[in-house]
Amino acid sequence: MDPCPFVRVLVGNLALRMPVAPPAAGAGAGVHPSTSPCHCKIRLGKMPAQLVPAPLAPSDGCEQAPASGALAAAFHLSKADLEWFNGKPSFFSSRGEATLKVAVYAGRKGSTCGVSSGRLLGKATIPLDLKGAEAKPAVLHSGWISIGKRAGKGGPAAAELSLTVRAEPDPRFVFEFDGEPECSPQVLQVRGSMKQPMFTCKFGCRSNSDLRRPGMQPEAPGKERKGWSVTVHDLSGSPVAMASMVTPFVPSPGTDRVSRSNPGAWLILRPAGDGAWEPWARLECWRERGGAGASDSLGYRFDLLLPGVDHAVPLADSSISSSKGGKFAIDLTAAQPLSRGGTPGCSPRGSGDFSNWPLGNYRGFVMSAAVQGEGKCSKPAVEVGVAHIGCAEDAAAFVALAAAVDLSMDACRLFSHRLRKELSHPQADLLR
């Protein structure tokens, strides 16, 4: 299996230095240190902006940039993104050298009607040379930059921001379902314009409810979604992973929605030999109610089940828009701070010592699965970090997880809506 080139751009070691106005400047003159929190809005090219806190640094005249080790923002670039940045600019396109744009605000982070809250202190633009970034890591910037204008001759200097920007290779395997998971599709490995079969999926729907939780009262027909499973086979036909619905999706009393307090759940299983299976992870999903003017969303929580560990290890807890779809992601990049040298650490302290890392071998970007909103034809696209795949069975487990996330979008639909026949027929596995 050949991976696709990806690059991570990491921004960290943020610190804001605010000049102090001289006493003779008079009341209200100059720029004074802020007693309220400050934050940055960081954007790379056309990618979505990220809002992060900007800690204040003492104005002691020290020119050395601080190295707190804190990671502030991370941007993930595909080969297409890199080609867009590295392409030649034209009259009709602004493509060209990548630029990191940073706007610094005084006040708490947030926005109202799409406009960032807080008082703008200044902006800065940092050009980034990403050529060769997919081959070797590089520090693209490290040090102080001015983010504002000097307040007249003799006045205090402009406010300054310290940050470190680093690019590093992050190759990934990319897979794509060629049909909806409930239609027992093939799964293709993608590399550039090339696609080749890698796995096949078999969807099943049991008619009995032997997996119902103890003490749970039977539901009226159509009031629970249960017994779904997806088995992933390699090209020889051997089963290499499975996603099995172990807790039915049922509406909360008096409603037609699956609630966070009573979620449905899947086990992701891997072969244990002799036809047996062993649990690898657990996925819980529910329907989050949207706020004012917002649509509902699919809430999810993903826990890893590590051998020898008596409790589940949480890896992801977020949501996906029910109407627009989005990405299910397991990304531990933010849990690994930059070291003092600007290099991402491999442990919580950036020391390279894995002994205290609570998440086993899972570090950095792990995987993502793009799914469509409910009622739309969804063929999940899956990306998995190279470091997390040692064999085909590893990849199959993430493919099974992606199928479970996609099917949960249907399982969490309002119970006032009917499901397609492939999902509601008690013998769906016999229809193919």
Give the tens place of pLDDT for each residue, 135-160.
Answer: 999 999 999 999 876 555 555 567 89
pLDDT at 356: 52
Count Cβ neighbours within 10 Å for each residue of 385-419 and write b for 16 or more, e otherwise: bbebbeebbbbbbbbbbbbbbbbbbbbbbebeeeb
Give the tens place of pLDDT for each residue, 5-34.
Answer: 999 999 999 999 887 655 444 444 444 444
Mean per-residue pLDDT, 75-100 = 75
Among 201-210, 244-253, 379-388, which is the least confidently predicted range? 201-210
Closest Cα to residue 363, out of 354, 351, 376? 354
Q: How far, in Å, CA of 386 to CA of 1, rounded?
A: 10
* 355 burial level (CB within 10 Å; 0-12, 13-18, 19+): exposed
* 73 burial level (CB within 10 Å; 0-12, 13-18, 19+): buried
pLDDT at 203: 96
Q: How far, in Å, CA of 265 to CA of 123, rounded?
A: 46
Q: How far, in Å, CA of 329 to CA of 318, rounded?
A: 9
Give percent of the chain with pLDDT exceeding 90.
55
Q: Which has more confidence, 289 or 87?
A: 289
Position 420 confidence tier, pLDDT thresholds 50, 70, 90: confident
Give the tens place of pLDDT for each residue, 98-126.
Answer: 899 999 998 766 554 444 567 898 999 99
Closest Cα to residue 379, out of 247, 217, 205, 195? 195
Question: Taking a C-beta distance cutoff of 8 angstroms, is the pair 149, 157 a contact?
Answer: no
pLDDT at 375: 84
Give the tens place of pLDDT for each residue, 185-241.
Answer: 999 999 988 999 999 999 998 754 443 444 444 444 458 899 999 999 999 999 999
Residue 161 has pLDDT above 80, yes or no: yes
pLDDT at 345: 38
pLDDT at 148: 75
How many other C-beta atoms can be found within 10 angstroms of the C-beta atom of residue 157? 15
